[in-house]
């Protein structure tokens, strides 16, 4: 069976997929970081982790103690992927943690 688009030739274009793309500024990245940390780690995560600085794709997170810094360092790729999925593009390229 042939598709209608094939029968009509080039006059019919295929549907365009639209992505949700959020403008990446520091305030937006911080908001999405707090949202993702809350989704992944709950209230405790939001209490113990805070975004401090974002520039040129590097996101710096401040953690209350070394255990949280280590946990986020281990899960930094997962966290980065979740934030970028919310942004709709690769706005965060690297995550650094500190106490």
Please tell me whether residue 80 adopts helix, strand or coil conformation: helix
SS3 of residue 15 by DSSP? coil
pLDDT of 32: 93
Angle between helices 66-74 and 26-48 (to 10 degrees): 120
Residue ranges and CATH numbers for the domains of the chain are: 22-98 (3.30.300.180)
Q: Is the pLDDT of residue 4 over 70?
A: no
Q: In terms of pTM, does the model score above 0.75?
A: no
φ/ψ of residue 61, rounded to 5: -110, 135
Position with higher pLDDT, 24 vs 4? 24
pLDDT in tens, 11-20: 544 444 445 6
pLDDT of residue 48: 95
The model's pLDDT over 26-84, given as tens digits with 9 standing for 90+, comes to 899 999 999 999 999 999 999 999 999 998 899 999 999 999 999 999 999 999 999 99
Q: What mean pLDDT comes out for the span 89-97?
A: 92
């Amino acid at each position: 069976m042939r598709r209608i688009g094939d029968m009509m030739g080039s006059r019919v274009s295929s549907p365009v997929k639209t992505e949700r793309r959020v403008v990446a500024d520091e305030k937006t990245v911080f908001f999405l970081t707090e949202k993702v940390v809350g989704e992944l780690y709950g209230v405790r995560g939001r209490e113990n982790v805070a975004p401090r600085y974002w520039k040129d794709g590097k996101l710096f997170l401040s953690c209350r103690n070394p255990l949280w810094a280590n946990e986020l360092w281990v899960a930094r790729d997962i966290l980065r992927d979740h934030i970028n999925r919310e942004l709709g593009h690769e706005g965060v390229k690297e995550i650094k943690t500190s106490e």
